[in-house]
Chains A and B, each alone.
Chain A
Amino acid sequence: MFEEILVRHPFFHQLNPDQLREIALHCEQLNYETGEYIFKEGKKADRFFLVLHGQVALEIHDPGRGPLIIQTLCDEDLMGWSWLFSPNRWHFDARAVKPTRLLAIEGSWLHEQIEADPKLGYLFMSRVAQIMFDRLQATRLQLMDIYSKEPAQPMRGRKL
């Protein structure tokens, strides 16, 4: 069943059936009710998620203002890269803002696989880089505050 989900998702295209079968053995389906936390900032990050259904908010907690939502993720989005990079701790809280179904993939196991198999590693990391690139572009656009009367101009030089 997990294998079918992986086959359909563009992130896993180009992986061969054996690789998909292996990954599927290291997946788990999780369900969250509205308001439940999926992970919390600072805790150990050891897996990543594919949102199958629902909506997840990535939040940062600001004392005095409460949780600030930075981004929401929904169906088919991938979530969570901190397991790939030291110190392997989550940078944000992730909270279900609607009833949410996720596929969790075991990060530490996958890490071993991509280190042992450079071809798989390249494929995997180039996909991760593409997603990060897209998110970086989106974040830049968000920072530009394009709807304000006078859009912020983060690139326009200020004398240092």
Chain B
Amino acid sequence: MSAEVVVNVPVQARLLEKRRESPDTFTLTLESPPSISGGKFFFAPGQFNMLGVPGLGEVPISISGDPANPKKLVHTVRAVGNITEAITATHPGACLTVRGPFGAGWPVDQTRTGSKEIIVVAGGVGLPPLRPAIYHFLANPALYPVVTLLYGARNPLDLVFKRELEQWTKRSRMRVEITVDRAGSSGWLGRVGVVTNLIGQVKFNPDRVTALVCGPEIMLRYTLMELEKRGVGPANIYVSMERNMQCGTRFCGHCQWGPYFICKDGPVFRYDHIKDWFSLQEI
């Protein structure tokens, strides 16, 4: 997968489709900019782009589409502040700016042993950065015979990719377990409780499993503890750290984290490489 990167100069990409995932989260499908690799935007699962609104600014957003379909550039964005609100308010037909792809992605090549089990643990809008890896695992059953997705969200309304989750649950070979922190009086009949509970409830072989984890940082910490409790070694756990960053090229130093720059060395890290930095509050 050779990627032509647009590192320093943002290019314009037309918004083709906008789909509401939850009250504040949207999936945006952009046309891959024609100027890049003949309209094909190649990326590795877990990489991100700097996505922006012309004249306003740009923010890091993971690519949430299928790496096997480089003609479309898909991102899932939660509106939390100025720029993400402006991005999600953009109408189809208008253009956003794109710079990327950046960063080290999920270990989809290292896990190609054919005998390993994969566990994907996602919390909230931590699922979109994992979706390209899931597509890759599902498209390669011989390489990834056993795949499990554990997904937790705040409440049933906040679950993203609802239709796809249903398809994966009913029609894919992936085991899918979903839980919400609060069911309220929504009529939800699925599980209620934190996503870390699910780790104790699924069967896997800790010596053969590779875990991919993405979500809010507190959820990451508890998930890592739970995986370690189940005997999964830190070298077999990968986490995505979504701290604030600016340049995407290791230049500005905004995202320095211990010896690493999240924009370049991450956002995906092998847990044993960052374990010492993980729970330090002052960095």
Contacts and interface: CB of A to CB of B under 8 A. Distances in A.
Given A138-B196, A147-B123, A67 B222 contact: no
A94 to B, nearest CB: 13
B124 A142 contact: no
Given A66-B185, A141-B218, A72 B192 contact: yes
Given A74-B201, A138-B196, A147 B188 contact: no
Contact of A138 (B80, B182, B188, B194): B194
Given A57-B192, A141-B194, A148 B183 contact: no
A69 B188 contact: yes
A108 B12 CA distance: 71
Contacts of B218: 141, 144, 146, 151
Contacts of A147: 123-124, 152-154, 158, 181, 215-216, 219
Interface string B191-231: 11110110011000000000000011011001000000000
Interface string A63-93: 0011111111011110000000000000000
B9 interface: no
A74 B184 contact: no
Interface string A87-131: 000000000011000000000000000000000000000000000
B123 A69 contact: no
B283 interface: no
A137 B200 CA distance: 14
Task: Point out which of B24, B158, B182, B215 has the most chain A C-beta atoms below 10 A from its C-beta.
Answer: B182
Contacts of A77: 201
Contacts of B56: none
Contacts of B152: 147
Nearest to A76: B201
A142 B193 contact: yes
Interface residues of B, number: 30
A33 interface: no
Interface residues of A, number: 29
A151 to B, nearest CB: 7
B176 to A, nearest CB: 14
A149 interface: yes
Contacts of B191: 55, 72, 74
A149 to B, nearest CB: 5
B280 interface: no
A98 B188 CA distance: 12
Contact of B183 (A68, A138, A144, A151): A68
Contact of A68 (B179, B185, B194): B185
Interface of A: 55, 57, 62, 65-72, 74-77, 97-98, 134, 137-138, 141-142, 144-149, 151
26 contacts: A55-B191, A66-B185, A71-B192, A72-B179, A72-B190, A74-B201, A75-B201, A76-B201, A97-B189, A137-B222, A138-B194, A141-B194, A141-B222, A142-B182, A142-B193, A145-B181, A146-B123, A146-B216, A146-B218, A146-B219, A147-B123, A147-B124, A147-B216, A147-B219, A149-B24, A149-B80
Which 5 A-B pairs give the minimum distances between C-beta atoms?
A147-B124, A147-B154, A69-B183, A69-B192, A72-B191
